Structures are given as structure tokens and as C-alpha cells.
């Protein structure tokens, strides 16, 4: 029994470690997009700059929504470790709704920019902007699909070791996306508004 | 290993504070007539606050520093950080240097003259 438990703990830490390595390589992907953005951020080709386009209060609400969702997925994970099904489901549902709200705001912003003729084709700055922020948005979308699947799985099958491990990885993924967003908030939006 | 709600709440409150600080710094700049901070000052602080929040979330949300040795998670993170730094700072360095050496809308001769004067070479 004891040996079995130890074996399962090792399996868990190995799987989670593998996922951590994936997250770190994802960091490198985002780093290259950030590097591209920072190099191109002043290349507006006569088009609008960040100062003309970004709204401080809009991006603050996006940031707060994502931060709260990062907090609530942490609480869902704690509940999963304790084996409480109901709080896991409710915290995950909360995280899902906040993530969806974030994504809606982002799509709204993209659509607004596109409608006004400031699409990725306008300038180097906007190409880099859409690529960087869009890649983050694609990750959020993937995370939401994963979260919905997890909720159905937990609802139907309950909480067991493999599921806890999956929730652990989902929580890591979601926290990671919030960390990336801090830098998008600071480098793309705040520094864009500063000038 | 014990993970508590308190550690999450601490991380959350700290992150909220750091985000608000960065926001207020920039908001004050755009919404006041009083003498503003310099651009360099603001950018330095925005970056510093972002890094502070990175460490806050690494410790309180991602539980870095809680693992037992050998700390493979920390090892991989450090390597990723190294690659990220080389990628971002290296790109900025190279591209700014290229930009400098082909200053806008000048003939090569004019560029040479500009650089010689700019760097005080006579």
C-alpha cells in the first residue's frame, strides 16, 4: 500500500513536471513575440500608435478579471486536493465565466480595431500587437475548452487521483497565462500609453 | 507540503496592489496638469512593478520554492529565464544598432558623417 502510494506520487510529480517543462517552452514562444513587438512598437507607418488606440480603464478591467480568475482556479485546485467536488465545480465555473468575459472583451477590442481600419495589415506595430495579444487569446480559448471538459469529467466521474493531477496542470496553465498577461498589460498597454 | 488559502489570498492582494500601482502611475500621467514624471522614470517603474508581480505570482500561485531538492522545476525555469533574456535583450540590442546605422532617409555618406559626429570621432 505504502509503496503503491509512493509510486503514484512519483507518477504525479513526473507528469506535472513534464507539463511545467511545456509551460517553460511556451515562455520562449511568448518571449520571441514580445521581442518582435518591442522592436516594432514604434513602426506605425503613419498609422495610429498605442497612445491613440488603447484605453486605460478598458485594459484595467481585462487585467482585474483575469487576476480574479487566476485566484479562483487556485481555490478550485485546493478544493480538488481536499476531494470536495462541489467547491471544485463552483470555483471552476466562476473561473470559466471570468475567462469567457475576458475573451469577450478582447474580441470586442480586436473587432473595434479591425472595423476602424486598424487591422494587422495597417502597420508593423499592429501586426506585432495582434500576433502577441492574439496568441495569448488563443491560449485562453484552449484553456476554456480544457476547463469545460474538466468540469464535465468531474461532474460525471467525481474526484480521483488522475483528475486531481489534471486540475493541477490546468491551474498551472491558467496561472501561467495570467503571468504572461501582466507583461502584456505593462509592455503593450501601459508602455504604449506612456508613449 | 501544505498549501493554504491564506497564501493564495496574500498573492491575490499583492498582485492587485501592484497592478493598481502601475495603473495609477500611468493614469496620473494622462490625467493631470501637474508636472509629469519623465518617460524613462515611468517605464522603469512599470517594468519593475511587472517583475515584482511576476515573483509574487511565482511564489504564491505557482508555489515556487516549495519543492524539495533536486529542484528541477526551478532549474527549468531558470534556463527559460536565461533564454527569454537573451532573446528579448539581444533582439533590442541588434535592432536598435541596425536602426542607428541606417538612420532614416540619409545617404550612406550622410549616415557616416552623422555617426562620426554623434560618437565624437574626428
In order of start, what are the domains of chain A with their CATH numbers?
2-38+52-194 (1.20.120.80)
Identify the pLDDT of residue A70: 97
Q: Residue B122: what pLDDT?
A: 66
Candidate from A67, A182, A194 with C-beta closest to B54? A182
The pLDDT > 90 percentage for chain B reads 54
Q: Are the beta carbons of B26 and B42 closer than 8 angstroms?
A: yes
Nine-digit cell at A83? 476531494
From residue A92, give the alpha-carbon distance in Å to each of A85, A143, A151, A167, B15: 11, 12, 7, 10, 21
pLDDT at B98: 87
Whether A186 and B54 lie within 8 Å, measured CB to CB: no
- What confidence score (pLDDT) does residue B29 get? 84
**Average pLDDT by consecutive 10-residue portion of chain A (195 residues)?**
65 87 97 96 91 94 97 96 94 98 97 95 96 98 98 95 94 97 97 89
In this complex, do A27 and B80 lie within 8 Å of one another by their Cβ atoms? yes
Cβ contact, residue pair A74, B61, below 8 Å: yes
pTM for this entry: 0.91
Pick from A25, A81, A182: CB nearest B50: A182
Q: What is the pLDDT of residue B1?
A: 40
pLDDT > 50? residue B57? yes
B119 pLDDT exceeds 90? no
What tens digit of pLDDT does each residue of B88-117 get? 999 999 998 888 877 667 777 887 888 888
CA angle A135, A137, A143 (to 5 degrees): 110
Report the SS3 class of residue A33: helix
Predicted confidence at residue B104, as pLDDT, reads 65
- Whether residue A185 and residue B47 make contact (CB cut-off 8 A), yes or no, is no
Alpha-carbon distance A19 to nearest alpha carbon in chain B (angstroms): 10
pLDDT of residue B68: 77
Amino acid at each position: 500500500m505504502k509503496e503503491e502510494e509512493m509510486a503514484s506520487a512519483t507518477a504525479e510529480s513526473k507528469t506535472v513536471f513534464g507539463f511545467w517543462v511545456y509551460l517553460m517552452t511556451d515562455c520562449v514562444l511568448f518571449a520571441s513575440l514580445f521581442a518582435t513587438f518591442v522592436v516594432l512598437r514604434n513602426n506605425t507607418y503613419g498609422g495610429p500608435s498605442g497612445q491613440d488606440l488603447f484605453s486605460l480603464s478598458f485594459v484595467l478591467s481585462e487585467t482585474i478579471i483575469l487576476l480574479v480568475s487566476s485566484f479562483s482556479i487556485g481555490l478550485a485546485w485546493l478544493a480538488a486536493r481536499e476531494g470536495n467536488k462541489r467547491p471544485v465545480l463552483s470555483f471552476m465555473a466562476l473561473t470559466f465565466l471570468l475567462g469567457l468575459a475576458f475573451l469577450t472583451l478582447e474580441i470586442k477590442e480586436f473587432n473595434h480595431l479591425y472595423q476602424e481600419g486598424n487591422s494587422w495589415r495597417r502597420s508593423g506595430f499592429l501586426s506585432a500587437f495582434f500576433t502577441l495579444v492574439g496568441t495569448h487569446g488563443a491560449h485562453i480559448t484552449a484553456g476554456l475548452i480544457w476547463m469545460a471538459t474538466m468540469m464535465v469529467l468531474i461532474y460525471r466521474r467525481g474526484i480521483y487521483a488522475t483528475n486531481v493531477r489534471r486540475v493541477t496542470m490546468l491551474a498551472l496553465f491558467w496561472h501561467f497565462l495570467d503571468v504572461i498577461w501582466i507583461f502584456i498589460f505593462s509592455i503593450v498597454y501601459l508602455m504604449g500609453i506612456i508613449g | 507540503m501544505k498549501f493554504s488559502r491564506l497564501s493564495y489570498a496574500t498573492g491575490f492582494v499583492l498582485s492587485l496592489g501592484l497592478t493598481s500601482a502601475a495603473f495609477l502611475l500611468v493614469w496620473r500621467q494622462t490625467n493631470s496638469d501637474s508636472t509629469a514624471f519623465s518617460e524613462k522614470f515611468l517605464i522603469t517603474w512599470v517594468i519593475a512593478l511587472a517583475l515584482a508581480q511576476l515573483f509574487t505570482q511565482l511564489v504564491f500561485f505557482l508555489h515556487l520554492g516549495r519543492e524539495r531538492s533536486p529542484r528541477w522545476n526551478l532549474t527549468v525555469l531558470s534556463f527559460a529565464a536565461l533564454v527569454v533574456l537573451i532573446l528579448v535583450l539581444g533582439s533590442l540590442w541588434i535592432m536598435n544598432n541596425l536602426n542607428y546605422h541606417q538612420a532614416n532617409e540619409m545617404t550612406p555618406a550622410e549616415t557616416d558623417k552623422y555617426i562620426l559626429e554623434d560618437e565624437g570621432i574626428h
